[in-house]
Amino acid sequence: MRLFVTGAAGMLGRRLVVLARDQGHAVTGSDIDDLDLTDESAVRERLRREAPEAVINCAAFTDVDGAQTNEQLATKINGDAAGNVASAAAELGAFVVQLSTDYVFAGDATQPYTETDEPDPRTAYGRSKLAGEQAVAASGAEHAVARTAWLYGAGGKNFVDTMLALAQERDEVSVVTDQVGSPTWTGRLAPALIEVAERRATGVHHLTGEGQCSWYELAVEVFHQADVSCRVLPTTTDAFPRPAPRPPYSVLGTERADAVLLPPWQEGVAAHLSERVLA
């Protein structure tokens, strides 16, 4: 498969490029330094030149708090640029996998959100990512929307590595118990995205580590698996006020008969820690 990956310098995009090449696909990666996705004509010209069979769009404005104060820029990158990529892909008959997020939901559910649940974003970031989903759908491209959450992995700032770094400096850390989600390791998400592209499995996919936990429980598990003696103190979201509200409950579930299932989130933590040791 000829594959084009945007956001290839990011935590997920970098892994996607390496893995897809290892699987024998012909992969081209791009990032802001060589292609501005908000430039519609440039995107169209580049995709015509590369002639991919599939495009995985990992490029995004991911600063949740930054989006809250600059929603116009976030929407330009997460919404308009996603539409540019999908429209250019549609002209070539290329399949598009658009990355999205749990933030498209309100975050006040009591059971996992499935693919047919109605989005209701409560933050600028969530609205910008939903705009991207809608722009891709309107482009006419054959496409999939892949929603994920609580992402971590090598090559990017993430909660797991931040906790491990803090444990080197402190005897204890305070972590919130009132935000619940599904931690997702890039090493498991990347192959799932490639599979969606290979199968040209259209529609919405929820792709997260199986199960759920709070940030507090995730920190406890990370320290346990890493054999780190740092105490985790429970606290609440109110203790850490942020410009953008965090969803209390953003667990993603699936009702697809052909769902691509990821292993339990604890297995992702173990694999990530093993990779850190080998690095």
Helices (H), 70-155: 71-75, 81-92, 124-138
- One-letter amino acid for residue 268 of the chain: G
Distance CA 98, CA 245 (A): 24
125 catalytic per annotation: yes
Under a CB-based contact definition with an 8 Å cutoff, are residues 79 and 59 in contact? no
Angle subtended by helix axes 265-278 and 215-226, to nearest 10: 40
Q: Which of 3, 1, 59, 8 is nearest to 30 (CA)?
A: 8
Catalytic residue among 125, 152, 216, 249: 125
Half-sphere exposure of 141 (CA within 13 A, CB side): 31
6-25 b/e (C-beta count within 10 Å ≥ 16 → b): bbbbbbbbbbbbebbeeeeb
Distance CA 129, CA 85 (A): 14
Half-sphere exposure of 143 (CA within 13 A, CB side): 30
Q: How many helices (H) and strands (E) does the chain have?
A: 10, 12
The catalytic residues are: 125
